[in-house]
Amino acid sequence: MAVRVLFVCLGNICRSPAAEGVFRHLVEQEGLAGEIEIDSAGTASYHVGESPDQRSQASALRRGIDMSHQRARQTKPSDFETFDYVLAMDEDNLRNLQAICPDPKTHNPGLFLSFAPQAGRMDVPDPYYGGPNGFEIVLDLIEDASKGLLKDIKEHHPL
């Protein structure tokens, strides 16, 4: 059975769609596209149905990742049953996820950057109101954590 991964931020237009795109790219490079299913969502509904933010798309495209087909959706309680990994970009997102988690004993959302201990931080900073450099920082952090996440999946799941 496939391992399912959900990336979560606030709007699902900047950070979590980039995480989805970067992680999918890595998984495809490793020939594991059939074994790992990947999605992203936002805790808020402001941008549901929208394409990723143009700045996020541009930063990802410079690294060979096309996010143009992705559309924003909101998180829902059933996501905890569907996905093996529910990974928040920051502590606020994590608190919002915990608030809708139907059974915290069985389902345990976490922070994406826990898979990049070398980054020395736990939050992927919200780039929405900042300049273009914020998106480069976001992509760098996401690339690091994606490698750590794939390593963790390989260690814990027979692929």
Nearest to 97 by CA among 16, 20, 37: 16
Supply φ then ψ for residue 38, to 5 degrees. -135, 140
Nearer to ligand 4NP, 17 or 85 (CB): 17
Least distance CB 15 / ligand 4NP (angstroms):
3
* Alpha carbon distances (Å) from 35 to 100, 104, 113, 135, 145: 27, 26, 22, 29, 19
Specify whether 15 is catalytic: yes
Q: Where along the sequence are the contacts to ligand 4NP (CB under 6 A)?
A: 9-15, 42, 46, 126, 128
Nearer to ligand 4NP, 14 or 153 (CB): 14
Nearer to ligand 4NP, 3 or 109 (CB): 109
Q: Which of 14, 15, 24, 39 is catalytic?
A: 15
Least distance CB 61 / ligand 4NP (angstroms):
17
Q: Which of 9, 24, 53, 79 is catalytic?
A: 9
Specify whether 101 is catalytic: no
- On the CB side of 53, CA atoms within 13 Å amount to 23
Question: What's the token pair of residue 93?
Answer: 């997102």
Least distance CB 142 / ligand 4NP (angstroms):
11
Other beta carbons less than 10 A from residue 66's beta carbon: 11
Q: Which residue is nearest to ligand 4NP (CB)?
A: 11
Residue whose tokens read 């450099």: 133
- Type of residue at 91: E
Catalytic residues: 9, 15, 126
